Structure 1
């Protein structure tokens, strides 16, 4: 449902067409302008502004304008070229920001690809650790078991001590 506010807004958007080519504007908009006082006043104001602009005459340049412009152009041509930093500063301050959007999008895509590739590369380097052999596991359990050390100490002390009747080679295992 079109409210009066939305119809007035649509009329405001097509005022330039109403002013220059009224036949291209839909009949509903023309009828609204005929009925609505605020839209009609806005159109009259725009017509008055355009009439004022039509009557305006640009001032003639001074007689020395061409000579001064040529002198300024000559000094700019003879000036040393701007450095890289100065050119970039001027481009960023005066240039369109729309030119930098593709560059920024490309840099972001490159950054994402490098980051993703690095992550995938690091993930593939996590290989499974080889399972330790039974001998290594036995040695590790011996290292962790203080009771086994105590028993082995007792066996060693009884072998090297006085009352052993074993062989003279000292090999008990």
Structure 2
């Protein structure tokens, strides 16, 4: 599961920037699952907004504060590919519970360390929004496109695709960075989805370009086929 899917919760409550909103709305047009999730989250938010305020029991504040001291803080979760969206939904549920407490009139504020909205943006977003970011876009027959954005300051690059057809059965799209004196160096394998946002591996600041090839499932240490796309970073080897 890619990062674009994980934006559904933030998009539903208008907590994305213009770049993320544009990318997610393009994805939303093609993903029925995300459309359903956004609709459900917006419905929940609307219900919470209509909650009628009521005075809480006088003992509620003392009980909540006492309970907080008995709660064991959870360690950070190790990110995996599949649970990304579930983790975000859990955070939204926790946020919704906090809204219910406020709507009920209580003055208790519970701070959860794992729901910190002040955390820095992801490495992918940092590259896409970097002041020195440079992008190269290629269009394929049939309307598909691929864009590589690289930042020398951050030494990272990001690949974004739209309407990418699936590779042949038993094959994958593999991405490479063209390094001086080394040639094409593996930079990641694309998951099989039409729209992708992939943070590439390797040193983008030294690379002169990037490429995409069709490789056996699992990827290859070196290209075994001619590239279907080559991106020039605009500097000599």
Higher relative contact order (CA 8 A, sep 6+): 2
Report the structure number with the largest CA radius of gyration.
1
Structure number having the greater strand percentage: 2
Q: Same fold (TM over 0.5)?
A: no
TM-score (norm 2): 0.23
TM-score (norm 1): 0.30
